[in-house]
Amino acid sequence: MFLTIIKTKDYRYKQLVSLAKERARLLIENGPYEWNVYKTIAEAYTKDPVYGNVFAMVDKAVKRHDLHCLHAGGVSVYPALIELEERECYRDGVFEKKHVVIFDRDTDGFNKYSQEQNTLLLKLCGKKYDRVNPQEVYALDQQPYRWHVWYKRAIENYFTNDRYNALGVDTTQVPEQQQERDYCKMSDVLMGYSKGMIAKISKGMKRDDFERYLAKFDVNIEGERRRMSEFQLLLLKITKII
């Protein structure tokens, strides 16, 4: 149900070789720092009461280095980077089977997408930034690309004040109201914060710590609507590429 099953007769020999030997990757904006967060999420969700056994496969893939990150350095680079990968080791439709494309929202609302992402969104779903339907993003049956936009503004918005305080960051200017907090630019309100801290901020977090403030979605899985959190959905998307 959650793994991708292919029919060998649908692929040429070179495609099958690439599918077998090339490792799965998450295309993310800041690999050197953010990859640690993804690794922590994968391990924490092995304790998920519904999909724990499935997510254990993701965690195992991370630890065996069968799943890794591809550092983009910024969303404006994504389209060119995807096209480069599609010309090289991940040719002829292999890229879509071995990658999940993940990027920040960078806007002040869950139903808004950045104009800066327009070229990327056109490639991923064929729609301009102001025409994207959230139901297309928070779905498991995406074609041909698998992709995810953070429901909140950016990855920094997913951590509570106490996580930042433990790193010596002053959070007195962070909005108290959750909706405002989810979409504020955290780098403007976190005093003493630097991007490198994100690599440490999730250390030791458990599944329930992540789940506390996550959005929930009704996701179609083989004709059945299932209620799940954003991180459960993201990990199920990742399961599809390992």
Nearest-5° angle of CA 138, CA 18, CA 72?
50
Position 5 pLDDT exceeds 80: no
Q: How confident is the model at residue 230 (pLDDT cuts 50, 70, 90)?
A: very high
Inside any domain, residue 166: no
Number of structural domains (the chain) is: 1
201 domain residue, yes or no: no
Q: Give the CA-trace dihedral at 157, 200, 66, 96, to 10 degrees.
A: 20
Asked if residue 173 has pLDDT above 80, the reply is yes
Residue of 167, 137, 27 lying closest to 83 (CA atoms): 27
**Residue numbers of the domain that contains 234:** 8-158+207-239
Whether 154 is in a domain gets the answer yes
Say if 40 falls within a structural domain: yes
E-only strand ranges, the chain: 24-28, 67-71, 99-103, 146-149, 216-221, 224-229
For residue 228, list its beta bridge partners: 217
Q: Does any domain span residue 142?
A: yes
In a domain? residue 185: no
For the beta carbon of residue 135, count every other beta carbon within 10 angstroms: 11
> Where is average pLDDT lowest: 8-12, 54-58, 159-163?
8-12
* pLDDT, tens digit (0-9, with 9 covering 90-100), for 23-51: 999 999 999 999 999 999 999 999 999 99
Q: Is residue 74 part of a domain?
A: yes
Using the predicted structure, report yes or no on whether residue 4 has a pLDDT greater than 90.
Answer: no
Quote the distance between the C-alpha of residue 166 and its chain's center: 25
pLDDT band at 53 (very low <50, low <70, confident <90, very high): very high
pLDDT at 17: 86
Q: How many CA atoms lie within 13 A of 151 on its CB side?
A: 18
Place of tokens 């993003």: 137
**Mean pLDDT confidence for 126-132:** 96
- Tell me if 202 is assigned to some domain: no
CB of 55 closer than 8 Å to CB of 101 = no
What percent of the chain has pLDDT above 70?
100
